[in-house]
Amino acid sequence: MTALLENDIIGRRGLMLVLSSPSGAGKTTLTRLLRDEEPSLTLSISVTTRQRRPSEVDGVHYRFISVAEFLEMRDRGDLLEWAEVHGNYYGSPRKPIEASLTSGHDILFDIDYQGAQQVRGNAPGDVVSVFILPPSIPELRQRLLRRAEDTQEVIARRLQAAKIEIERWRDYDYVLVNDDLGRTFARLRAILSAERLRRDRQVGLPDFVDGLMGDL
Ligand code: ADP
Ligand code: 5GP
């Protein structure tokens, strides 16, 4: 799990950045911004049994699969975590995650609280978790309506589920209220920068310091 990344002179372990929120609070938007700014960040592309939205591309936003395919993957142990969310199955394929971590790359997960709990349980030291809250419930509803990619029925179901999701805020390392998008994004980047610099993640430090001491 160690590699020298661009701009780093110290070898570092990859970390898993987990973003969760009630639907509509802004995870997907923040994920897109973060990936534009941080090309070295690998996005974990989930498999899901939900219907593709008009704006979504198979293999980019999700891999859209049948329930039978999902259950097969799950039962083979191909998923690092999985959950049923809003009546559909979602899961994170294990293989690409392991490949990224091995090469020292950070991975970004947009997953619900059940998935976050499983990933944390598997590798507690490697997970940094961030919960995104909406500034208010009327605004959350507006965002779901403005996104205009789900039916009224689906939106009502997601608002219902928001209560159960918001209740999990204490499980996360960081909590951001996504009022102003630019400010939330700046805070998210600050979290990532600081977490990358944690002493225990910079596994190349002992050798580096030995080198410094040897030259004194
Ligand atoms: P999620 O992935 O959490 O379901 P999205 O990122 O799809 O949420 O955001 C839902 C809608 O809200 C989108 O139309 C998005 O453009 C909008 N949005 C996201 N963040 C903000 C913000 N800070 N202020 C206003 N609108 C936002
Ligand atoms: P959406 O259908 O709006 O894309 O996502 C619905 C919810 O499922 C969101 O809370 C999202 O974070 C979650 N989700 C997406 N992919 C996964 C996954 O692979 N695992 C888990 N546990 N949740 C996921």
Is the pLDDT at 27 greater than 70? The verdict is: yes
Q: State the amino acid at position 171 in one-letter form.
A: D
From CA 71, how far away is CA 212, in angstroms rounded?
A: 53
Is the pLDDT at 3 greater than 80? The verdict is: no
Helix (H, G, I), strand (E, B) or coil at 58: strand
CA angle 198, 199, 200 (to 5 degrees): 95
Of 121, 146, 145, 130, which Cα lies nearest the Cα of 21? Answer: 130
Which long-range CB contacts under 8 A does 70-79 form with residues at least 24 apart? 73/47, 79/47
From CA 44, how far away is CA 97, in angstroms rounded?
A: 7
Q: Which structural domains are found in the chain, ordered by start?
A: 3-44+105-203 (3.40.50.300)
pLDDT in tens, 38-47: 988 999 999 9
What is the number of alpha carbons within 13 Å of residue 199 lying toward its C-beta? Answer: 2
Q: What is the mean pLDDT of residues 10-39?
A: 93
Identify which of 143, 154, 158 to mutate to test ligand 1's pocket (most ligand atoms within 8 A of the CB). Answer: 143
**Predicted model pTM:** 0.93
Pocket of ligand 1 (CB under 6 A): 21, 23-29, 143, 146-147, 178, 181
- Residue 90: CB atoms within 10 A of its CB come to 23
Q: Tokens for 159?
A: 């608002």
Taking the alpha carbons of 135, 136, 141, 142 in that order, is the dihedral positive or negative? negative
Q: Which of the ligands is closest to the CA of residue 134?
A: 1
For tokens 């500034």, what's the residue? Answer: 135
Choice among 1-5, 41-45, 132-136 with the minimum mean pLDDT:
1-5
Question: Average per-residue pLDDT in the chain?
Answer: 92
Share of the chain above pLDDT 70, in %: 97
Is the pLDDT at 181 greater than 70? The verdict is: yes
Is the pLDDT at 7 greater than 60? The verdict is: no
CB 87 within 8 A of CB 151: no
Question: Is the pLDDT higher at 26 or at 154?
Answer: 26
Q: How confident is the model at residue 13 (pLDDT cuts 50, 70, 90)?
A: confident
Q: Tokens for 109?
A: 């997960």
Pocket of ligand 2 (CB under 6 A): 20, 23, 27, 46, 50, 81, 83, 85-86, 90-92, 110-112, 114-115
Question: In 46-111, where does DSSP find H-type helix?
Answer: 67-76, 94-102
